[in-house]
Amino acid sequence: MVQYTPMIQQYLRIKAEYEDAFLFFRLGDFYEMFFEDAIKASQVLEITLTSRDGGTKERIPMCGVPYHSASGYIERLIDNGYKVAICEQTEDPKQAKGVVKREVVQLITPGTVMEGKGLQEKENNYLMSISMINDLCFAISYSDLSTGESKAAILDGSKELLLNELTTIGAKEIIIDPDFNKEVLKYLKERCNIIVSLEANTQLEVQFKRLIATINEDELRHAALRLLHYLNRTQKRSLDHLQPFSTYELNQYMKIDFYSKRNLELTESIRGKGKKGTLLWLLDETATAMGGRTLKHWIDRPLINNEQINKRLDLVELLLNHYFERQELRELLKGVYDLERLSGRVAFGNANARDFIQLKKSLLQIQPIIHLVERIPHEQTEKIAANLDPCEDLTHLLEKAIMDNPPLSVKEGGIIKDGYHPDLDMYRDASRNGKNWIAELEQDERKRTGIKSLKVGYNRVFGYYIEVTKANVHLLEDGRYDRKQTLANAERYITPELKEKEALILEAEEKSVELEYQLFMDIREMVKEYIPRIQRTAKVISELDVIQSFATVSETYHYVRPTFNSERKMVLKEGRHPVVEKVMGSQQYVPNDCFLNAEKEMVIITGPNMSGKSTYMRQIALTAIMAQMGCFVPAEKADISIFDQVFTRIGAADDLISGQSTFMVEMLEAKNAITNATSDSLILFDEIGRGTSTYDGMALAQAIIEYIHDRIGAKTLFSTHYHELTSLESNLTKLKNIHVSAIEQQGKLVFLHKVKDGPADKSYGIHVAELAELPKDLITRASAILSNLENSTTKEKAVVMEEPQLNEQLALFADAENNSKKNKSSSKEQKVLEDIRALDLLEMNPLQALNQLYEIQKRLK
């Protein structure tokens, strides 16, 4: 250290405490970065890398950004997953003896962003703390610093359950103990892009008692306290807006695992990773940012309590039947700003006067909303009206104190209204009268001297002055004017009267600005007292907003109210896929029925590719999810049983990060469903077993169907191209065959998209390939091969058998092979067998395999 200058030594001491963050080190009007920070920041931010003398022979790498525009650069670093420590000067440089004192005033991380583009208005920005109770049990707590929302739960199951909850919450950063299990941490980091921070302190301090009073379990309290200590240590300011932790249990909601949320595209599309094309995109007719965030919560966590679901449905039906009130409500909600994040900014100390205007305008909408809700008579609307708080005394304070169009800055005046404070009015009067006197002085001096171009001006360096062009200087009276400044073409003067008035005006202006800032700070402290009331109102407004959004969507797309039964039935008449229907627009969507009950718990769906099997399966799941969210559903009639979980295995993709093949991913997702599903679950399996050889895949598919049928009893939709599986209907009493129909017209395939009873008679694979516009020669060749295979008398027809028969069949193949060894009657056949053994099937594509089979058949004939 001694080899560096004192300032660089100071930088290094502070940097040592924030090794995992960029240190924005304040030097005058710039935030500077040095050493590795400078090199990396210059690349990420695309700014110039320079150097400076640091006391050593080699110059130190350096880059910097202006402090007044630093927020944009900080946002870019946070968006790229970095942390930024803000180091400010904490003493006046003029009074400093040696190096100016500096210290970090805030650590900004992806999980603690309070403003800027990094915050999506309709998405939460959660920071999560994780504590391990044992290998299969975790305590989690999480908070959105920007809104104050805080929750906690115990996850008893596995690290997969932890991953699922982490992705559901969408946490941007996790906080763990330094001794946290390395294997679990590696597992989480491999599967989601997450920032990890360390915090060891879990001591209970006085300021945290209010926040954890609702938590009883010690492990959960430790997780919450770790989160609070991290926030307190990094933010170094008031956290008064944080709400007490609310605890929940996962079994209070329908469980939808990470894979199913992805496959069903609930909140994020598979291809674009955006919102368009998702259930969230369809249902989001919310008018407020708070409502948008609540809608996402409801999609992530559908209810399983019949009474709670029907309470939501009652409200949706009320607003659906009161069209004019609903339209008026939407207009009123549009005038409500983000009350939760406004409260956070107030408590955090970075709210400005414009935030107060937004807060006032929002609160002024609450009373009209109360009157509107009271016009719809119902027990629930009465509760809503009673829980809405217009905070009239706060709106009165803001109306009296804050200018209607204040500046962004809180330190330059122009914020407080006249009449709010007598001393401020006195200073303003002195300043305004003084300026009037200045204007009159200019006119008097022009008359006195006869110089029409004479003017009285002001700048911050020289104060007030009288400016006269050099051509007119001789017209001034001797002894009256004192020269103050000489310009190229003019002289500037001061008079005793002007000097006296200048002191009064500048003093009044200075005191006025200082007093305004102090009054604003006092008002901000008064507003903080209302934060709990504002947050309670915000929660009611957000839920009301989602309800009107459901009603609006239900009316637009002609959805119906679902009913719920206890007989484990699912009856859907003319059901539709809500998102596909919206995307299709004016095109006609083909609706389909679904009937499942105690005698028909499983269906095998067959039909050609592109016929709509996957769409049909997804629409069943989406209908169940929408119903349990409390929304109307896309059908003519919907009577369903409440599902505790939804599992899907749809689509195929390698997990490249963890080195797992498509088939392994398929098996893991199937295992997740089979091991966790209950008789009250819904399972969707789309073409299980296609990732391996035909017989392996078919055997696994049959075994999975039998296992679910015999041991789990969950409602299951199983689509497949293994037509042999349709024979299982005769052996499994609760399994039925259905198919998505298609017909051939003039040699072309026409998809009807209609689900009918019974199995499909053909696969139409070559027709689909033709629709995909594969080369005509290839299609012709495939048709010839298919015809040959279908007409071959030697072709072995695969038949799915029960387990004992399957073993017998395998033994039969073994005997045939032994006999071929004993009886080498034909050298040609022996050569064919040797060629078959030499084939590397894993390196062949399906078309090559078919061609090889065709050649073998020709040789045998």
Q: Tell me the torsion sign for CA atoms 583, 585, 590, 596.
A: positive
**CB-neighbour burial class of residue 565 (10 A; exposed 0-12, middle 13-18, buried 19+):** middle
The residue type found at 446 is R
Residues β-bridged to residue 173: 127, 195
What is the DSSP code (8-state) at residue 244? Answer: P
| Cα–Cα separations (whole angstroms), residue 353 to 50, 520, 527, 837 | 39, 8, 12, 81
Whether 456 contacts 495, CB under 8 Å: no
- Residue 749, C-beta contacts closer than 8 angstroms, at least 6 positions apart: 608, 742, 743, 764, 767, 768, 770, 771
Residue of 59, 51, 127, 113 whose CA lies nearest to 84 = 113
302 among the known binding-site residues?
A: no
Whether 141 contacts 227, CB under 8 Å: yes
609 among the known binding-site residues?
A: yes
Whether 717 contacts 684, CB under 8 Å: yes
608 among the known binding-site residues?
A: yes
At residue 626, φ and ψ (nearest 5 deg) are: -60, -40
844 among the known binding-site residues?
A: no
422 among the known binding-site residues?
A: no
Whether 721 contacts 605, CB under 8 Å: no
Mapped onto helix, strand or coil, the DSSP state of residue 151 is strand
Which helix H or strand E contains 296, and what residues bound it?
helix 289-300
Residue of 242, 234, 249, 247 whose CA lies nearest to 211 = 242
With left for phi above 0 and alpha for psi between -120 and 50, is residue 162 left, alpha or beta?
alpha
828 among the known binding-site residues?
A: no
Q: Nearest 5°: CA angle at 400, between 343 and 408?
A: 55
Distance CA 705, CA 700 (A): 9
With left for phi above 0 and alpha for psi between -120 and 50, is residue 50 left, alpha or beta?
beta
E strand segments, 525-619:
563-565, 570-575, 592-596, 602-606
At residue 634, φ and ψ (nearest 5 deg) are: -80, 85
Residue of 228, 241, 234, 249 whose CA lies nearest to 128 = 228
What is the DSSP code (8-state) at residue 92? Answer: -
Distance CA 640, CA 624 (A): 8
Name the binding residues for ATP.
607-614
Name the binding residues.
607-614
